[in-house]
Structure 1
Amino acid sequence: MKILYFAWVRERIGREAEEVEAPDEVRTVAELAAFLAARGEGYAEAFKEPKVVRAAIDRRHARPDAAIAGAREIAFFPPMTGG
């Protein structure tokens, strides 16, 4: 699946997108974030406070417990504020 990173999540990881093949036991957004956090220092820094990072599955906001099966694209980004 394609993983997209935005704002400070992207800055900490050092890339805006990548293709990832998650193991079968990774079934939710939260599990995917934990899997990614274990990939290295930048990832660990980006996901060190998982409750702060938001996600979208195929361009629709998703909760941490949302299933990722069949997702084509998952995006991670910081909370957004309005103005």
Structure 2
Amino acid sequence: MKLDILLFGITTDLVGTSNLEIEVPASSSVAHFKNEMTTKFPQLTNIQTYAIAVNESYATDETLLQENDVVAIIPPVSGG
């Protein structure tokens, strides 16, 4: 199934784009999606943690993805 991916902050720099489209097997979980992304983009292992949002809501590793979901990868934010 197709997913639209949005990347923010350092993840944009690591992957080289702010959005992309990927294919994952039907009924994939967020955990499976993370594994797929680090396989395709091993440079993502350079950040230790990041949040995942699915259709603008934060998701857990157990969240199941659906065709055409919009998945955002949100790295930790710091500043002041």
For the aligned pair, the TM-score class normalised by the smaller chain equals 0.7 to 0.9
For 1:74, the equivalent position in structure 2 comes to 71
Give the drift of 1:15: 0.6
Q: Deviations over 1:23-59 (max 9, x none)?
A: 23x61111101111111xxx2121x278601100001
Greater strand fraction, Structure 1 or Structure 2: 2
State percent identity of aligned pairs.
21
Give the drift of 1:79: 2.3
The DSSP-based 3-state class of the residue aligned with 1:38 is: helix
The DSSP-based 3-state class of the residue aligned with 1:75 is: strand
TM-score by length of 2: 0.80
1:38 equivalenced with 2:31 (yes/no): no
The DSSP-based 3-state class of the residue aligned with 2:28 is: coil
TM-score by length of 1: 0.77
Equivalenced residue count is 78
Q: Which runs of 4+ in 1 moved over 4 A?
A: none
User: What is the alpha-carbon root mean square deviation over aligned residues?
Assistant: 2.2
The DSSP-based 3-state class of the residue aligned with 1:30 is: helix
Unaligned runs of 5+ in 1: none
Unaligned runs of 5+ in 2: none
Higher relative contact order (CA 8 A, sep 6+): 2
1:55 equivalenced with 2:55 (yes/no): no
